[in-house]
Homo-oligomer: A and B are copies of this chain.
Amino acid sequence: MNHLNKPTLTSKECDLAREPVFRKLPKESIDALRRICRVRTYRAGQTVIADQDEPGFTGCIAEGILRMQKTLPDGRQHIVGLLVAHDMFGRVLHRRSNFDIEAATDARLCCFDRRALEDLLSRDPALERLFLVNVLDELDAAREWIILLGCRRVSERLAAFLLILCRRSADAERVVSGSNDRIRVHVPIGRADLANYLGTRAETISRAVHALADEGIIAILDPHTFDILDLPGLIARAGNGDFGLNRP
């Protein structure tokens, strides 16, 4: 929202070697990356990169959640993707951003200067390969999201969304309770954002969530925290697509 609030900038280096994305890189590549890396911290609501900007950096998330979104000229907002810890954000090799990238929560980012990174890519095949694979994974995720949005009923889209959340260890944890395991998922955004994300309205989201609860498929601990009580039931709700939950 607030383009004017500048992020806090520290010269402290990131611990890139700990990021899963970079772990497979040879040491020299990591060192080269580290040299052009700066940490930026944002508060919830701040804009990281604005639509049609030519940002000077790209990077990955150390902590927090970013929201990629497009605001249509008529005022409606569509969330295109949520980025969580260890995800890369921004776009190398592209001048203009096609989306707003905003901090959905307070966030700490490892940022690389765009030009320096592109130089590095051209000289370091291992690094370029890493970025290629990373973009391929993002493409998979985007296509999975397309399938989700292709579901006609909101209840189906919500079920599919929860299944995708279940797959992310950062947002889901197994909870041992009484008789059997539960999966606890944390939804990092509010109802209105979730509605934009799923192509509907906050009221409809609310009704769909409570419908799942009424059927005993989930339990609502608080508006942002659910327990999955009936995983097969949830999968059935999503059109039996398990969204990779049983993927080896």
Contacts and interface: CB of A to CB of B under 8 A. Distances in A.
A128 B200 CA distance: 39
A72 B132 contact: no
A139 B135 CA distance: 8
A73 to B, nearest CB: 4
A206 interface: no
Interface residues on A, range: 35 or more
Interface stretch (A11-19, A74-82, A170-178): A74-82
A93 B142 contact: no
A74 B239 contact: yes
Contacts of A200: 152
A78 to B, nearest CB: 4
A91 interface: yes
B147 A146 contact: no
B73 A240 contact: yes
Contacts of A79: 150
A140 B98 contact: yes
